[in-house]
């Protein structure tokens, strides 16, 4: 049995042990996957103890993704640019390798829900860690344009500077958004506390698909707003969650699990 875990604080809410357990059953992999909650100031020491126990890998969630990034011996290009790591692999020669699978999880779910990203005009709302991890995978899918807007405009401008070599990316102040997009993605944490971000209704018309990276049992606050604007389709972040896990699992185990049955079970367990 090979050992894996997810590290976060808090961690009780994490669906990762369940998801990886389902993937392991489905693909007949002999793994154990735990949930570990280090004290906020003891992430690294707790992780190193876990590695000494012979562990093969770990997922990292809030608030440790940046710390995980900082302690890696090697980083994938995606993790490097994201400045955050959600997937660690402990190599046989004692190195810690860091990846970020959040963006791939997002992009796979976006294409599953709404069709190909190629040539779409995409608006990304928010410029925090969640946004940053997803920009490169979106640009790599040859979108026509990726506009980033954020309550604090300077942070959107910083992301434009970091990623401008990789595609058509523009930071725009919210008040400069004057026409509809093909796809609007909410990456802000506002919905987690039930807050609605203030956005001009002109960004959504009946052709616009809307995606909320957060998820909940009921329609999220952002998706409800999108529906009120008569958006074409809406989806929440459950598929992204399962998708990032699937990408981690395949990096570790070399097999790609089927995400649909796991999503269906999770969705019904939320209800
Ligand atoms: P995460 O890792 O989830 O992205 P974060 O790095 O703290 O978390 O970023 C939170 C994002 O949500 C930011 O873009 C933040 O906007 P600011 O940069 O202006 O703070 C955004 N956000 C949170 N609450 C918001 C609200 N009520 N209205 C608009 N944006 C909000």
Give the CATH number for residue 155: 3.40.50.720
Write the CB contacts of 8 (distance below 8 Å, at least 6 apart in sequence): 14, 35, 37, 60, 61, 62, 63, 64
* 84 DSSP 8-state letter: -
Output the pLDDT for position 194: 85
Strands 87-90 and 96-99: antiparallel
Domain of residue 110, residue span: 103-238
What confidence category does residue 191 fall into, taking pLDDT thresholds of 50, 70 and 90? confident
Q: Tell me if 270 is assigned to some domain.
A: no
Annotated binding residue 244: yes
- Could you tell me if 93 and 132 lie in one domain? no
Output the pLDDT for position 102: 96
**271: pLDDT strictly greater than 80:** no
Going by alpha carbons, the residue nearest to atom 14 of ligand 1 is 126
- Could you tell me if 62 and 76 lie in one domain? yes
Cis bond before residue 263 (omega within 30° of 0): no
- Could you tell me if 18 and 109 lie in one domain? no
Query: What would the mean pLDDT of 22-39 be, rounded to a whole number?
Result: 98
Task: State the average pLDDT for the chain.
Answer: 96
The pTM (predicted TM-score) of the whole model is 0.94
What are the strands, taking DSSP E only, across 41-84? 57-60, 74-75
Output the pLDDT for position 193: 86
Q: 197 alpha carbon to ligand 1 midpoint, in Å?
A: 10
Give the chain's domain count. 2
Query: What would the mean pLDDT of 19-31 be, rounded to a whole number?
Result: 98
Q: 131 alpha carbon to ligand 1 midpoint, in Å?
A: 9
Output the pLDDT for position 270: 83
Structure ipTM:
0.97
**98: pLDDT strictly greater than 80:** yes
Going by alpha carbons, the residue nearest to atom 24 of ligand 1 is 190
pLDDT tens digits along 133-181: 999 999 999 999 999 999 999 999 999 999 999 999 999 999 999 999 9
- Could you tell me if 72 and 61 lie in one domain? yes
Q: Tell me if 158 is assigned to some domain.
A: yes
Output the pLDDT for position 216: 87
Annotated binding residue 194: no
CB atoms within 10 A of CB 39: 9
Task: CATH number of the domain at 39, please.
Answer: 3.40.50.10860
Mutate to test the pocket of ligand 1, among 85, 184, 188, 240 (most ligand atoms within 8 A of CB): 188
pLDDT tens digits along 58-73: 999 999 999 999 999 9
Q: 127 alpha carbon to ligand 1 midpoint, in Å?
A: 7
**244: pLDDT strictly greater than 80:** yes
């Amino acid at each position: 049995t090979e050992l894996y875990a997810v590290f976060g604080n808090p961690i009780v809410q994490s669906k990762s042990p369940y998801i990886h357990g389902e993937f392991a059953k489905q693909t007949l992999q002999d793994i154990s996957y735990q949930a570990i909650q280090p004290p906020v100031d003891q992430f690294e020491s707790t992780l190193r103890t876990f590695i000494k126990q012979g562990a093969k890998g770990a997922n990292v969630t809030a608030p440790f993704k940046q710390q995980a990034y900082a302690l890696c011996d090697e980083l994938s290009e995606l993790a490097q640019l994201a400045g955050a790591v959600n997937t660690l692999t402990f190599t046989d020669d004692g190195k810690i390798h860091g990846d970020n699978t959040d963006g791939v999880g997002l992009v796979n779910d976006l294409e599953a829900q709404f069709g190909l990203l190629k040539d779409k005009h995409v608006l990304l709302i928010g410029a925090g860690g969640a946004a940053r991890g997803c920009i490169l995978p979106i640009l790599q899918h040859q979108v026509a344009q990726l506009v980033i807007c954020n309550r604090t405009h300077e942070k959107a401008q910083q992301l434009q500077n970091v990623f401008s070599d990789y595609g058509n990316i523009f930071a725009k102040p919210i008040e400069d958004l004057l026409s509809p997009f093909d796809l609007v993605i909410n990456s802000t944490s506002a919905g987690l506390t039930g807050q609605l971000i203030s956005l001009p209704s002109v960004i959504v018309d009946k052709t616009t698909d809307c995606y909320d990276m957060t998820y909940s049992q009921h329609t999220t606050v952002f998706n409800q707003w999108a529906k009120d604007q008569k958006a074409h389709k809406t989806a929440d972040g459950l598929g992204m969650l399962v998708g990032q896990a699937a990408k981690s699992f395949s990096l570790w185990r070399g097999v790609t699990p089927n995400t649909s049955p796991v999503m269906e079970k999770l969705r019904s367990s939320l209800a």
